Each structure stands twice: as structure tokens, then as C-alpha cells.
A and B are shown apart, each in its own frame.
Chain A
């Protein structure tokens, strides 16, 4: 589906074959903060604060560790609640590396449908950042149905499986924004204790092959799907999906894989931010398209403070 930019690109490349050279440009860049935070009922609120780098910089991303980050509900007189700093963790000692971030104690503030929340970030040397987002109304998954889970026709290929399923939900408002996410999970045999097999689930994000929908959709940069409610007719949306996964089936210990589906009804800021990043990723090699400028509701900086609410379901794949 990303064919058109490619066509234009290839055509241009023949014209300018070998005619590119490095130019020195002095581009003005003011240091700025990047704040990323998504909030949803039932999910832990985390916020990342980092410095943006100049475009030609080769230094790695730096995260802000001495900021003060606060969250409050706007709809009542709730005070600001400060979020706790979580330092970065290196990949050593068997742990997965992660950058530093700020987290809100779940007991301090409930994130609820229909409410508006305000995020405040004070970082030394930068103007205070205050931004808000609203948690939209929930859209529930009406029906999830399994169609097929089949191995790729090419048996000598790597273990690629195709998943086909149907999703149905009621689309009631043209102003809705949807983010569909998929998770393929299956238990992996780990060990036996006292004759009992203990398993752990492994999860991967399937690749979206196709959505049979007349309206346009965008596959987001993390293999989800972004759907603009304005492109859909209101009423029941029937969405046949076609995904593919890498699945190394253990025939000696058959397990039941499952497809997890999460339907997020998002705020506009959340949707447009992800949409823009997805589009920027998709056309990053194009030399003819206008650039995708990432919208941001973070004043004096970049990033996004986005609210969403989700419904989820699971489709067992086969027996």
C-alpha cells in the first residue's frame, strides 16, 4: 500500500543517478524537551521526559532525571499528584534495559472515562510545560470471530502463520479515533516441577497484512492500525483482518495460541501524534513528498500527552 511514494522515488533516482553530494548546512536548533505520556483507565500512568537532539548530532538520546512531573484531574478540585522518578536500568544483571521515566502511584489518582487530566512538567532550565487530555467514551468490541489460522503455503519458509479473523464494533460518532492493537500469545513450555508442567506466555505483535475496509487506514509504526472515525460510516463496523505471525509450533507439546485484540478509543492528540509518526516512518526515504510535521500538544516542546480508553478480547486460534 505504500507503493506510490516508492514509484516516485525510483523514478527520480534514475534522473539524479550519482548526483548527490554532502552539503554543510547551519540549521538553527533550540534545545527542547520531549514529553511522552499516554493515560488510560486501568493502565499505569508513565511519563518520559527527554531532550531532543540536533538533527546532525551523533550523541545518544538523553533523558531528564531531575524533572518534577505532576498529574491532576481537571474536572474537580483534585490537587496535583507528583509522579515518582524511575531510574534507567542497564541491560546488565540479566535485566532488560530501559530508560528512565516517571510513574504515578495508582492509589493517588483514578483515571476515568470522560474526565480531563492535566500534566505539568518542571525541568530545570526549561519553561514549565502544562498540557491536558481527555479520556473519551469507550467503544466496546461487539464480536470477535475466528476464521482461520494456517501455516504459510511454503513449508520451507520460516514458520509464518496466517491469521484471519473478524472484528465487529459499533461506531457511533464520526469524531471517534480508533487504535487497534493485536497480540499473538502462546504458552511456551518452560520447566517441570513435581511432574507438573509450568509454562510462560510469549507474546509478539503480528504483522498486519490487510484490512478489508473501503475507507483508508494506516498501519502504525508498532504494527497497530489507526482508523479515523470520519472515514467510517456510523453503525456496525465489520472488520475482516488478515495478520501473519512467526510461530514455531512444538508438535510434541501442542499449545493453544490466541490472538489478543485491543480496541482503543483515543483522544485526537493521541491519534494524530501516532498517525504522523507512522506517516513519517513510511515516507522517510521519499524525496518528493512534503515532510510530515509531528503535531504536539506539548507547549514549548515535542511529544504527546494522550488519553485513551480500551476494550479487549481474545480469540483462541484453533483448538
Chain B
């Protein structure tokens, strides 16, 4: 208003000379006044703005701090301002408020005059990579923000970031879990490329960035970023800080007792989880049916876990995406580490091939159980008059090589191979009598079951200028299962010394392979707008299941050589399938909103059909206040691969099959609505409700007319149905220098409906847990010690139990009656609640050339007998009496794990 009056006064002078003279005088007068203005700009102010628009902020400043402003309202942009910091000078405050705008300010006559700058603000891009300062490891998901501004981004899965800012000096803040926050001032007069090196925090505690100035709008509540530091802080089983365990502690994720049965996300089946290891699909991500994941913690760099609101670049699964990135290898120094615990033995080596340009990483892991189980089983069998042994083992090998041609071009080659083996050999000698006389008998059985994954990927990262980033990969993945059972019988008739021998071998194999090529592009258009687009194609080879057997009989030798080539001659029909996908998504930040819209088109060709669909993804985040964010999203997903499973527990025997002419792709629609509240510096609260509807789910028909699956019969013996899952997830978090604590609670319901199962009535999903509570805490005692504890409680899983019995006995039949069990409805009973407390201590010491750590603790502290299953059997004390038997897996289990790195 004052400025308006002044303008009228000036225009009242029509005479040019008079006007010039007056203006000169007036400007001189203003200049003199300006000289005395500096104290005003340096005046400390105590203000907090919570997401209000600039004009409101100016009013607040005027009323509460007595600052007079002169401005025309038209020049003030519609920008919100959030400032939580007190004791800031007026100059700092105005710089912050008008950052990135074309509004300037001057002090004239003790008043702040706001004016529009003559030239439009030029913008430039700063882009580059964020990496570990000592190893050169690219830091996935590192936060990059402009200090005190709600402007920022995060490094992508390849450590690349790009940010467009107005010309001028900016202070950028880089933060990442487990690293010291890094501040860098940049004078931006042209597009710039930088390489940011961050130093790991020397203390055990995670460096938590809690200052509200570092907060940018979080786009999606459903994405959880897990760094290797997060994994290090979790409690472990047998000393193994396993990714699967970490995921199972998140809200909305359920598993069976002691991890058996795999993870089930928001009522989804186990096959609806997509696991990507350096962009390669992993089909069976667990060892020992879920006790451990196949992902070696030593090799993991970061993990993004998504349980809804999937970005358009991900597809092919309905319920979750776990995007795992392995370390690239140290570019500057060779490092080695060795770890030994009760459950795993691990080695890792990484180092440069060409310093600063090329590095390799190799890690391997196996279980010491392989050396324990054999002698124990030998003794056990010997005590039961048998010879033989039991073999139980698993291993993982990760290798990675990368070369940095320049800051713009990098190539990577990564490889994984891992497997499980279970073997059981029994040999027994005994004597029998036949009509011809006494026989000396030898029976030998040899079961050998192996399964595992192989994965390899070649990747090329290219940075086109400062705003466009590309990742292209060619990958291969294979999961195979082979079970071989050999039986040998040899007997010798003592009277004639004649020999009879018989050998028989059975084999079952199933396999899935894929070759995938894909390209992802990120176009960092502006700080508020990013476009992602790309495409992929996969070629699959399925061998759903081949069962075959061969045998040999001899009357003169007890040495039997089975022709193993026989199994190679079996006509293993391989089913081929191809799928394709293209996607485009746009991420827009506008004022208090962030809107991510995406569209994915995917398709699969079967023998006579081409299934395809447009799959929209929408995510909207709204932050009305700096401490509050509301988030909602909609996701439509389609899955072309199905896992045929009898148990739903992710057994290695489960078989992957593709969609067929008669077997449509699975489809899911998911809605989420959530809220996040930051309560001060340390507390955070989150709540989210979800609803998921799944169609074309498959399951074995209740009366499938086969005993084993093969490529011929599976199509007509599976039923299709639907499922729903709904729930509310609550999350409290506390973080301070010493403490990290979280409480997760989920109230959920998941069911399935198949026309041919349970008489067409809906029934609870096997892994439906109504209540699921998880409590985690870590306390950092000092620079060397921390202690962690976790407690979990989950209501019982749904099971089916027989309630009655009768005999099938046809009148007049000369066959024995058959006992038939009567079941109530499918999954109508519940196992008892599952709960457990784990405690672990971590001691870590960094010396000149070595880093040592000891992790020890107790799993299942109060030895809760969590039920793995119930089964109908016989009472051991009275074998004539039927009884239900409960199986439990892991009682109280102390553990220790030692690791040294040098």
C-alpha cells in the first residue's frame, strides 16, 4: 500500500526536468537511508513458518517482528515456505523465502522493498554421483537437498542424481544412512557434474538426519529403503543378519514360525513377490525353506522394498518388489573380510583392478552345518544299526566386476550362483530265509535333492548430458530343482553263492530359465518434474516337471552301474513364453503436492493368445504441514507367471508355470491411503490402510486328476479363483543418537475364493494373520557396543484339520475298508499365536588396518514353542490312540558370530 502511494506521488510530476531532479534527489535520499539499513537485515528473528504462502509469511513477519515491507502483491509468487529454525537473520530469512524466484529486496528508509528482478532467473543443472569416499561405492538412495529449502532429490539405484537449480550459490546437503552428512557449497553459473564422496560414520550408530531442513516431500509411503547399515543394526539369527528377517519385521509382511514359509506381503501369495538381484529376477530367494535368504549380507549394498504403489518401471508380480543392489567393489583399496558363525561361514574380497576405474568383488557363503550334520547323522544311524549319513548344506557365490570408462559411462557384470542340498543315505545289512536257504541282504537308499538359482547380468549405465540417465541390462536367470532317489538291493544265497541285485533310480526335475533385456531411462526435467520411461522383454523356458525312472537287474554281480544318461533321453518338453513391457511415468512436485502418474503396458504371448494390459499407477502425496503427509495410491498389476504349490510355503518342489491359452494372467488392484506424522525431532508415526483385490489366482484343483505335474497335464488341473486382502498398518518410530526403536502393528484379513475349492465358499488365506505386532529396538552404548532386541507377536495362521472319520466299505467287496477323513471348511482352524523375543549384542572395533566385530545373543529368549504345523498322528504313549501332534522348530538358541575385515 505504501509503495502504491509513493508511485502515485512520483507520477504526479509531469515535467521531465522537474521529474529527473526529483527522482535524483529521491534516490539519493533512499541511498542515504539504505546505508543505515544493514542492521535491519542482520537483525535476528525468531520465526517458524509451517507451509504457508509467501504473502502470509510476509504478514507474519510484519506483525510479529515489526518489519515493514513495501511490495506489489502481483510480484509475489505462489510459493509456500517452511522454516522451522529460530534465530535467523532477516537477510537469511529473505534469501530462503525468495530462493529460486525472481523477487529481489532492498532496504529503503528502514523498510524492505520487494521488487521484480529485471532478468528472468536462469536455471542450471547439477548432476553426478554420490559415492563412498573410501571405496568409491555408489550410494543408492542418498538424499540430496538444498539447505533449508524443500528442494531435493535422491540418488537412483545407480548412485546418480540430477537437480536443476537457479543460478547462484547454493549449499547442498548430502545424507545417507551410516554416513556423515556432507555439506557442499556450489556456485552454479552453468550445468555442472560433480562426484560427491561421503565418509562412513565412525560410530556404530546410524547417522540420522532429523533436522527438518533436510526434509523433502516423501513420494511413496510404501517404499522402504534399507541400507547395509540398516541390516547391520538388526537382530540376527545364528549371527546372520538376514534380509528376509528384516523384511519379515516390516508391517504388512507375514511369515510362518521361524521364517518357514517365506514372506507373504499384504495377503499375497509367495509367488507374487518379485526379487531382483542387480536387475535379475530370482525365483527362489531362500535357503532351507525360508530360514535364510539367499542374499549374502556382506555383498548387499542397498534394498528397496515395495509393498504397494509400485512405480511403473516394476511389473510382473502382484504383491511386492524387493530390488536388491550388490556392492560394486572397492575402487581404491583391497579389502577382505571373513566371518564365522553357527549358521554361516563367509568370505569377501573386493578391490581395484584399475585404481579409481575398475573393481571386482567376490563373496562366498556356506553353512558350517554341512560339517556338523554328517557326523551327527552317522552316529545316529549307527545307533539304529544303519550305515549312512545325512547331508544338509547351502552356499552362495556373488561376483561383480565393473569398469568406469568415465563419469558418464560405466559397465557392470554381476554373477550369482547358490544352491541347497539335502541328501540322505541309508544302508542296512540283514539276513532272511528263503525256500532255497539263507540270504544275506544289503539294502541301500540314496536320496539326493538339490535346488538353486543362477543369475548373471551385464549392465551399462550412461549419462546423456546432465538430465538424462540410462541403464541397460542383459540378464539371465535360472532356477532348477532336481530330486534323485536311488534304491539298491543285493542278496546272496549262501548255499550257492549266487547273487541277485537290483537297482532303481527315480528322478524329478523342474526348471525355469529366462533371458531378459531391458532399458530404463530417467529424465530429470526439473527439480519438480522427472520422467521415467523404458521397456523390457523376457524369454522364458519352463520345464514344469519331469518324473522318470530307470532300473537294472543283475544275477551275477553286486556292482550295478545305472546308465545316468537315461535321464538325458527323457523327452522333457520345454514350454516357451515371451513377455514384453513398456512404461512411462511422470513425477511432479507442485507446492505441497507430489503426483506420480505412470502407465505400464505389458503382454505375454502364449500358444494362441496374446495377453496384454495397460496398467495405470497413480500416487499422490500431500503435505499440508511440514510434519504431516497424506499419501494415497492406486496400482494395477498383472502377473504372467504362476507358482503351482501344494503348501503355499515356497517349497523347492513348487513349480513355475506360464500363463496359457486357458490360464489367464493373475491380476491385482490395490488401493492404499496413508498418513505420516513427524512428531518433533525423534518421533514419527505412520498409518496406512490398504485393500487389494486379486483375480485369476491359481491353485491345484481340490480334485486334481494327477499325481505329478508335467508339461502336459498341469493346464487342466489347476483352478482359478480370486482373493482379497485388506488391513491397517501402524508404525511408530523413535530415533536419536543413542536409540532406534520401532513398533509395527498390522490388523489384516486375507481370503481366497475358488469355485472348485471349499465348495466355492471364501476361506482364509493360509498366511492370514489377524494381528501382527513387531517391536524392535537398538541402543548404542558407546562407539564399540550396541544392543538390539526384537519381539514379535502374530496371531495364528489358518490351517485345515480333520474333525471326523468314517470307513469306505462297499458291501460285498473283498477289499479292505478305507479310512476317510472328514475336514471342516478349508483353513477353518488357527494355529496358536506365534511370539518370540530375540536379543543380540554387537561389539565392533576399528583398528589401524582391521575392523573386528562380534555379534552374539539369544534367539527365542524364553524358548517359546511356536507351532510350525499340527498333524494327525498317533499318541506316542499309546499308539492305538489317534492324537494331534504339534511340531516346533527353534527353541532357545544362543549364537555367536565373529567377523574380521582387513
Contacts and interface: CB of A to CB of B under 8 A. Distances in A.
Interface stretch (A125-133, A160-168, A238-246, A274-282): A274-282
Nearest to B500: A154
Contacts of B506: 3
B702 A231 contact: no
A290 B823 CA distance: 11
A226 B435 CA distance: 38
Interface in A1-37: 1-5, 7-8, 10-12, 14-16, 19-25, 27-29, 32, 34, 36
A92 interface: no
A216 B702 contact: no
B434 interface: yes
Interface in B833-868: 867-868
A50 B806 contact: yes
Interface stretch (A72-80, A109-117, A291-299): A291-299
B708 A27 contact: no
B869 interface: yes
A293 B708 contact: no
A58 B700 contact: no
A288 B707 CA distance: 15
Contact of A216 (B289, B713, B804, B888): B713
A277 B653 contact: no
A53 B703 contact: no
Interface stretch (A217-225, A253-261, A307-315): A217-225
A55 B424 contact: no
Interface string A36-55: 10100000001010111111
Contacts of A277: 808, 818, 820
A28 B502 contact: no
A262 interface: no
A231 B868 contact: no
B883 A7 contact: no
B93 to A, nearest CB: 64
A244 B308 CA distance: 57
Interface in A142-160: 153-154, 156
Interface residues of A, number: 84
A214 B553 contact: no
A29 B700 contact: no
B23 interface: no
Interface string A225-239: 011101100000000
A290 B806 CA distance: 20
Contacts of A215: 712-713
B706 A46 contact: no
Given A50-B807, A291-B823, A293-B826, A3 B508 contact: yes
A188 interface: no
B447 A218 contact: no
Interface string B781-812: 00000000000000000001111111111111
Contacts of B700: 290
B732 to A, nearest CB: 35
B648 A290 contact: yes
Contacts of A46: 810-812
Contacts of A16: 868, 887-889
A3 B448 CA distance: 13
Interface residues of B, number: 87
Contacts, number: 240
A287 interface: yes
B561 interface: no
Nearest to A20: B885
Dominant SS at the B interface?
strand
B818 A52 contact: no
Contacts of B502: 154
B651 A216 contact: no
B884 A23 contact: yes
Residue from B485, B758, B766, B805 having most chain A Cβ neighbours under 10 A? B805
B877 to A, nearest CB: 8
A150 to B, nearest CB: 13
B550 to A, nearest CB: 13
B881 interface: yes
A54 B822 CA distance: 9
Nearest to B883: A22
B647 A290 contact: yes
B334 to A, nearest CB: 39
A286 B707 CA distance: 13
Interface in A200-219: 203, 205, 214-219
Contacts of A205: 815
A218 B808 contact: no
B113 interface: no
Given A19-B889, A156-B436, A276-B702, A25 B801 contact: yes
Contacts of B705: 216-218, 226-228, 230-231, 275
Contacts of B483: 3-4, 7
A11 B829 CA distance: 25
Contact of B703 (A25, A276, A290): A276
A264 interface: no
B355 interface: no
B886 A292 contact: no
A215 B436 CA distance: 44
A11 B394 CA distance: 14
Contacts of A14: 390, 392, 422, 424
Contact of A221 (B652, B717, B818): B818
Contacts of B648: 290
B887 A287 contact: yes
Interface in B666-722: 700, 702-708, 710, 712-713, 716-717
A282 B885 contact: no
User: Which of A32, A52, A281, A286 neighbours the largest number of chain B CB atoms within 10 Å of its CB?
Assistant: A52
Interface in B492-548: 493, 500, 502, 506, 508, 547
B870 interface: yes
B288 A216 contact: no
A56 B810 contact: no
Interface string B74-108: 00000000000000000000000000000000000
Given A25-B870, A48-B811, A214 B447 contact: no
A219 to B, nearest CB: 8
Nearest to A98: B811
B702 A292 contact: yes
B553 A153 contact: yes
B607 to A, nearest CB: 15
B663 to A, nearest CB: 14
B422 A11 contact: yes
A20 B547 contact: no
Contact of B880 (A38, A58, A218, A282): A58
A101 interface: yes
Interface centre among A22, A227, A276, A282 (most CB of B within 10 A): A22
A214 B547 CA distance: 12
B876 A22 contact: yes
A134 interface: no
A54 B289 contact: no
A61 interface: yes
Contacts of B710: 216
A21 B882 CA distance: 13
Contact of B449 (A7, A32, A101, A290): A7
Given A19-B889, A23-B886, A55 B803 contact: yes
B872 interface: yes
Contacts of A230: 705, 716
The 6 residue pairs across chains A and B that have the minimum distance between CB atoms: A216-B706, A216-B713, A228-B705, A288-B647, A101-B811, A289-B646
21 contacts: A1-B708, A7-B449, A11-B652, A14-B390, A20-B873, A20-B885, A22-B875, A23-B884, A48-B810, A56-B883, A57-B805, A58-B880, A58-B881, A96-B814, A153-B553, A216-B704, A221-B818, A230-B716, A231-B713, A290-B648, A302-B804
Given A3-B506, A216-B704, 18 more contacts: A7-B508, A8-B646, A20-B871, A22-B884, A23-B885, A24-B884, A27-B829, A55-B801, A55-B803, A55-B872, A103-B811, A156-B493, A156-B500, A216-B707, A288-B869, A294-B821, A295-B759, A303-B806
